[in-house]
Structure 1
Amino acid sequence: MSELSQHACEACKIDAPRVTEEEISAYRKQIPEWQIVERDGIMQLERAFTFPDFKQALAFTQRVGDIAEEADHHPALLTEWGKVTVTWWSHKIKGLHKNDFILAARTDEVAT
């Protein structure tokens, strides 16, 4: 269990600050398999998880959905045969917030 996953998510308002470069560097050390991608000028955290079949990929998708509902913060989920791509970002601030890194760490935990 990572230290990051134990942090509490906070309500993200439209004026919430995006993470700084220093924070990104520190948080990424705890979630090294996640990539930062940029789409339409918006930084996002993304990772693809592989599974031996669709049933296990779908079960993982549900587990991620459960942690998302619990935190009231929702990722993009692409579920395919043997693969789930999870993308976290904060829609209200159009970028990355600490919550995204916390939930990426929690996603890693439900993958094991």
Structure 2
Amino acid sequence: MNDLIEQSCEACRADAPRVSESELAKLIKEIPDWNIETRDGIMQLEKMYIFRNFKLAMAFSNKIFDLAEAEGHHPSVLTEWGKVTVTWWSHSIKGLHKNDFICAAKTDVLWNE
């Protein structure tokens, strides 16, 4: 288990630094099933989870909402029949912060519960 899940998000101000290229290379290895997507020039972490039905997808989405509130960091969550797509990025810095990797790792823990 990686050490990201033992960490908590820190307050992220507009002047907080984005992860560096070297940090990105290290952190992405800790969440290998996540993809880096760039939208409107903003790097984001994204992963799709597959479910047998809508009810299970919604239950997982609710767990993510609880995580987001607990961490004070909020993703984009698209819930559809049989799948949930989760996208983490730091809105205030328009890019990736360590908080995004912490929450991505914790999302995977929720998936495995």
Residues 63-101 of structure 1, C-alpha deviations (whole Å, 9 max, x = no match):
000000001110000000010000000000000000000
Query: Is structure 2 residue 14 aligned with structure 1 residue 11?
Result: no
Q: Which residue of 1 aligns with 2:106?
A: 106
CA RMSD of aligned residues (A): 0.7
* C-alpha distance in 2 between matches for 1:28 and 1:5: 14
Q: Which residue of 1 aligns with 2:79?
A: 79
Query: Is structure 2 residue 42 aligned with structure 1 residue 42?
Result: yes
Q: Which residue of 2 aligns with 1:64?
A: 64
CA displacement at 1:2 relative to structure 2: 2.5
Aligned length: 112
* C-alpha distance in 1 between matches for 2:43 and 2:28: 14
The structure that is helix-richer by fraction is 2
Percent of residue pairs bearing the same amino acid type? 59
CA displacement at 1:8 relative to structure 2: 1.9
* C-alpha distance in 2 between matches for 1:94 and 1:28: 18
Aligned amino acid, residue 62 of structure 1: N
**Runs of 4 or more off by more than 3 Å in structure 1?**
none
Unaligned runs of 5+ in 1: none
Aligned amino acid, residue 9 of structure 1: C
